[in-house]
Amino acid sequence: MESNGDVAAIRHLVADAEAHQNDLDPFLALHTADTAIVNIAGRRVTGRDALAEAMKAALESPLADVITRTEVADIRFVRPDVAIVASMKRVFDGRDPKVREDPRAALPSASGWLTYVVVKEEDGAWRIASAQTTPIRA
């Protein structure tokens, strides 16, 4: 059901999502129009427009200094054009130490399991239809 080309393309998609996490337009282009995202703090946004608004606000805040690294653990094809990607997400807090000390600014976790549902769209490109991060408590 899977091809090596599709596996490579999906790995590239995940790598691009990491590389463009602070670059709004390229990041949004990696998602379907009706994408649904749940971040590590449990905030859910649906649709590319809502994702754009949430990201724009985050990038204009100290959260722009919080970066993540993602390592693909497993890719499972549900159909030739749909795959579930399990990834380990590690969160690095580069915010000013004074910001980090505020209990209201605490990050929920330094790592989590990021599960993507990716789809191959009509143009042949793989895009993120859904992403959910489950925090791993220390």
Note if the pTM is more than 0.85: yes
Q: Is 57 helix (H, G, I), strand (E, B) or coil?
A: helix
Q: What per-residue confidence (pLDDT) applies to 84?
A: 98
- Which class for 133: exposed (0-12), middle (13-18), buried (19 or more C-beta within 10 A)? buried
CATH 3.40.50.620 fits 4-135, yes or no: no
Mean pLDDT by 10 residues, the chain (138 residues): 86 97 96 95 94 93 86 97 96 77 75 95 97 89
Spell out a b/e string for 17-56, using b for 16 or more CB atoms within 10 Å of the CB, else e. Answer: bbeebeeeeebbebbbeebbbbbbeeeebeebeebbeebe
Task: Give the Cβ contact number of residue 77 at 10 Å.
Answer: 16
Question: For residues 101 and 106, what is the distance between their CA atoms, to the nearest angstrom?
Answer: 8
Residues 6+ apart with CB under 8 A from 51: 28, 31, 35, 37, 45
Task: Name the token pair of 80.
Answer: 């030739």
Domain ranges of the chain: 4-135
Q: What per-residue confidence (pLDDT) applies to 120?
A: 98
Q: What per-residue confidence (pLDDT) applies to 1?
A: 53
Task: Give the Cβ contact number of residue 3 at 10 Å.
Answer: 10
Task: Name the token pair of 3.
Answer: 């091809």
Asked whether the CA dihedral 55, 61, 63, 64 is positive or negative, the reply is: positive
